[in-house]
Amino acid sequence: MEITEVLVAIVLGIYLFLPALLPNSAAVLFGGKTPIDFGKTWRGKRILGDGKTWGGLIGGVATGTFFGIILIAISYFFDPVDFWGYGAFPQNVGIVFTLALGSLLGDMCGAFIKRRLGMERGQKAPGLDQYDFVAGAMLLTCLFFPDWFISTYITGTGLISLVTVLILVPVLHRSVNIIGFKMGKKKEPW
């Protein structure tokens, strides 16, 4: 394996995962009033809580997908066959959509688990807060586009891309949340 292959795998790992990274930050900006669980409880505790709203879900998925389509459009001019790793059109549009939707579904699963554990909205859950959306994005994408997912994040230099995502996500997550906190958009800096 050559050093350039390793570098490409590192950059591609994050680049191709951008449609999954963006929705979380966008959800903070789009976060509306109506909670996804409509305020309902299950066994005495909120199903998801007030931190998961329809506005955040729809705005977040739309932002991630829209951004992904822009990346696909740009890469078309340079690499009309593989679109810099997103793969052939129109499947690549499906891929950026499942990355964006899966990311926020994973975030909702994380919130569901936090509520079951009796944790309040915004309470810190190390590990879960950083990886729930990564797991959601990867699982949903792997379900609908297994060949793309396996060749991008598992086989060959794919594992390097996967490890890059797993290492960089907590760092990015933390940085973005501190920015959101300073902007007054987020109640906690995590």
Binding site for ligand CTP (CB under 6 A): 27-28, 31, 49, 51-53, 55-57, 104, 107, 111, 114, 121-123, 186
Element (H, E) at 42: strand 41-42
Q: Return the number of the residue (46 or 96) whose C-beta is nearest ligand CTP.
A: 46
Q: Return the number of the residue (122 or 158) whose C-beta is nearest ligand CTP.
A: 122
Q: Which residues of 130-153 are buried (b: 16+ CB within 10 A; e: fewer)?
A: bbbbbbbbbebbbeebeebbeebb
Smallest gap, in angstroms, from Cβ of residue 37 to ligand CTP? 10
Smallest gap, in angstroms, from Cβ of residue 65 to ligand CTP? 15
Smallest gap, in angstroms, from Cβ of residue 98 to ligand CTP? 16
Smallest gap, in angstroms, from Cβ of residue 61 to ligand CTP? 9
Give the helix, strand, coil percentages of the chain, each rounded to 5.
65, 5, 30
Q: How far is CA 44 from CA 36, 114, 117, 190, in A?
A: 17, 14, 12, 26
- Tracing tokens 């297994």 back to the chain, one arrives at 146
Q: Return the number of the residue (13 or 35) whose C-beta is nearest ligand CTP.
A: 35
Q: Give me the residue whose beta carbon is nearest to ligand CTP.
A: 56
Q: Return the number of the residue (147 or 188) whose C-beta is nearest ligand CTP.
A: 188
Q: Is the peptide bond before 126 cis (omega within 30 degrees of 0)?
A: no
